């Protein structure tokens, strides 16, 4: 990829307001489809990226994390938190912002909100994985945990994986009602279920997207029959899981970056050498994805920096034609690069003259 800077010291910034305008201009589903295309392109060149588990600071209430990567041309990082208790005080569980920079100069080329963008890329990544792992002709999806991520997941799966029915369950019935209302008019059959067991009945794809920071059992072994694809989204930090261990032992498990997933994902419940398949190898044809109609596939999704890089790369392209950003004067640009203090003095003189 290449990065084009319009000016020396002004950096494009996408606010929450402009991100919403961009998504509404493009459409949520086409936006996620485009992110999925960029993720697939980047996963196919996986070996060239700098890769490391995210840098996390954990507390009893949540986590604050940095997620960096680079392909040698561009560098990106995302700042993201996860604080499940926030919803009780009217705050978001997850907030984020991100930066895309030019490796050649080190100058940032884009700064953006990533709370909305992360929800879009998470939906895109989930549905992209299902393209390789879900049973053929899957049409019914269950989603357990109907919080902020749920509509993005459903619309991404509709656009990329072809589902037409979603079965909703949340311990808060209002969350399911809100999700169903938000999906009204999307051309989907949304069914609100009274229990998680009811929700998975007849589902070809099962997504878990709960928020509590704890070892939990959202799905028990007896709930999972042959041939389903499980998209485990909610377990994304140490001490937080959603699936009974026995489900993992029956499943073929696919992951993003094993060193991170073994710390944060469902597989933290398993032995460190338990076999898993890296999804990028499936996309490159090096490893098989779904191989039979009876196979249980599990995408142990924790989110990885390359996915954010892909979303930022797509956003940067969009801004070449879409005007939904503002320029920030955030890079010092003295006439003589070594005379930073002189720039201060000249600014002082100009202020005094005024």
The residues annotated with a catalytic role in the active site are: 236
C-alpha distances (whole Å) from 251 to each of 83, 228, 275 are: 29, 10, 11
Tokens of 306: 């390359």
**What are the strands, taking DSSP E only, across 4-150?**
10-14, 55-58, 63-70, 74-82, 96-102, 108-113, 140-144
| The two structure tokens encoding residue 28 | 């949520």
From residue 301, give the alpha-carbon distance in Å to each of 81, 190, 290.
Answer: 17, 24, 17
Buried b (16+ CB within 10 A) or exposed e, 118-137: bbbbbbbbbbbbbbbbbbee
DSSP string, 289-342: S---SS--EEEE----HHHHHHHHHHHHHHTTT----EEEE-S---SSTT-HHH
Q: Which two tokens stand for residue 1?
A: 């990829």
In 3D space, the residue among 40, 53, 42, 35 whose CA is nearest the CA of residue 121 turns out to be 35
DSSP annotation string for 159-210: III---EEEEE-SSHHHHHHHHHHHTTSS-EEEE-SSHHHHHTT-SEEEE--
Per-residue DSSP letters for 336-347?
STT-HHHHHHHH
- Cβ–Cβ contacts within 10 Å for residue 337, how many? 8
3-state secondary structure at position 230: strand
Name the token pair of 339.
């005379």
């Amino acid at each position: 990829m290449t990065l084009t800077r319009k000016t020396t010291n002004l950096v494009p910034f996408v606010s929450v307001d402009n991100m919403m305008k961009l998504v509404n201009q493009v459409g949520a589903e086409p936006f996620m489809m485009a992110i999925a295309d960029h993720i697939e392109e980047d996963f196919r060149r996986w070996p060239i990226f700098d890769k490391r588990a995210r840098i996390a600071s954990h507390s009893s209430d949540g986590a604050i994390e940095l997620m960096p990567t680079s392909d040698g041309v561009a560098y990106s990082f995302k700042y993201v938190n996860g604080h499940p208790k926030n919803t009780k005080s009217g705050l978001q569980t997850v907030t984020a912002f991100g930066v895309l920079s030019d490796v050649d100069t080190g100058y940032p080329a884009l700064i953006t909100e990533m709370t909305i963008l992360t929800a879009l890329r998470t939906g895109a990544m989930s549905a992209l994985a299902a393209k390789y792992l879900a049973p053929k002709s899957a049409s019914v999806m269950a989603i357990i945990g109907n919080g902020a991520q749920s509509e993005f997941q459903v619309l991404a799966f509709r656009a990329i994986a072809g589902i037409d029915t979603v079965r909703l369950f949340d311990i808060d019935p209002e969350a399911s009602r809100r999700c169903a209302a938000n999906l009204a008019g999307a051309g989907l059959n949304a069914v609100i279920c009274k229990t998680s067991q009811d929700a998975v009945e007849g589902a070809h794809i099962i997504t878990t997207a709960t928020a509590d920071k704890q070892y939990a059992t959202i799905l028990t072994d007896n709930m999972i029959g042959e041939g389903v694809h499980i998209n485990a989204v909610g377990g994304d930090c140490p001490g937080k899981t959603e699936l009974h261990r026995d489900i993992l032992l029956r499943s073929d498990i696919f992951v993003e970056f094993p060193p991170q997933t073994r710390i944060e994902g469902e597989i933290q419940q398993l032995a460190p050498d338990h076999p898993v398949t890296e999804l990028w190898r499936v996309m490159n044809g090096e490893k098989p994805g779904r191989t039979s109609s009876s196979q249980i596939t599990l995408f142990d999704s924790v989110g990885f920096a390359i996915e954010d890089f892909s979303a930022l790369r797509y956003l940067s392209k969009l801004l070449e034609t879409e005007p939904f950003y503002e320029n920030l004067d955030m890079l010092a640009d003295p006439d003589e690069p070594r005379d930073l203090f002189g720039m201060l003095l000249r600014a002082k003189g100009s202020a005094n003259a005024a």
